[in-house]
A and B are shown apart, each in its own frame.
Chain A
Amino acid sequence: GAGVSQSPRYKVAKRGQDVALRCDPISGHVSLFWYQQALGQGPEFLTYFQNEAQLDKSGLPSDRFFAERPEGSVSTLKIQRTQQEDSAVYLCASSLMTRPEYEQYFGPGTRLTVT
């Protein structure tokens, strides 16, 4: 079956622009995670959904970052007024159940470059 997909794969934004990054999880997966991976670093947790409920957004770096999953499937990560420090790969992962022993399947990521 299909894995986690993300679009766009690459995004170049001018500083100050708003961007929207999309994640299509594996069908039927309850949990959805967003991570940010800066160059030379490991992924860092941003936020987490269980179905449509955003249960943890403690990792969002500022109020310019907003995520939603209105119907419990596709999720969108929105960044307003992008800054250069937002340049990173944004990874989405999904898992079948909301328990840590269920594997997280990662998408290919969206590479965001803010100029």
Chain B
Amino acid sequence: AQSVSQHNHHVILSEAASLELGCNYSYGGTVNLFWYVQYPGQHLQLLLKYFSGDPLVKGIKGFEAEFIKSKFSFNLRKPSVQWSDTAEYFCAVNAGYGGSQGNLIFGKGTKLSVKP
């Protein structure tokens, strides 16, 4: 069965620090990879996604993620975080066109707190 692991439960950074959130998945076939973000009091929204092509994908608000197939990883990065990036971040995977045609498998999430 597919699974997603997020290494950090809670990350605390100061503004302008660099961010990297780890995500590993277990599935040997073709995968689609996503990062979702949930700001305080708001609903889940898509940050970025990878389906194919350039393994370095750029999303909204200056976030990017790199797909490394050999490591089954899809880490999220941002060079300089802002207080407004305080949120919970979820990595998710969907196994192509097999199975349920689109349901996502999420990691447990990483809570990011940015100190002003």
Q: Which residues of A contact B (CB under 8 A)?
A: 3-4, 31, 33, 35, 40-45, 48, 50, 55-56, 58-59, 91, 93, 95, 98-104, 106-109
Contact = CB atoms under 8 A, between A and B. Distances in A.
A41 B102 contact: no
Contacts of B99: 56
Interface of B: 4, 32, 36, 42-46, 49, 51, 90, 92, 94, 96-97, 99-109
Contacts, number: 74
Report whether over half of chain B's contact residues are helix, strand or loop; otherwise say mixed: loop
B90 A43 contact: yes
B100 A42 contact: no
B101 A55 contact: yes
A108 B101 CA distance: 23
Given A42-B108, A100-B102, A106 B97 contact: no
SS of A interface (majority): loop
Contact of A43 (B51, B94, B100, B106): B106
B97 A100 contact: yes
B111 to A, nearest CB: 10
A109 B103 CA distance: 17
Contact of A45 (B42, B104, B108): B104
Contacts of A104: 46, 102, 104
Nearest to A97: B102
Q: Which of A45, A93, A100: most chain B CB closer than 10 A?
A: A100
Nearest to B36: A106
B103 A48 contact: yes
Contacts of B103: 33, 45, 48, 56, 59
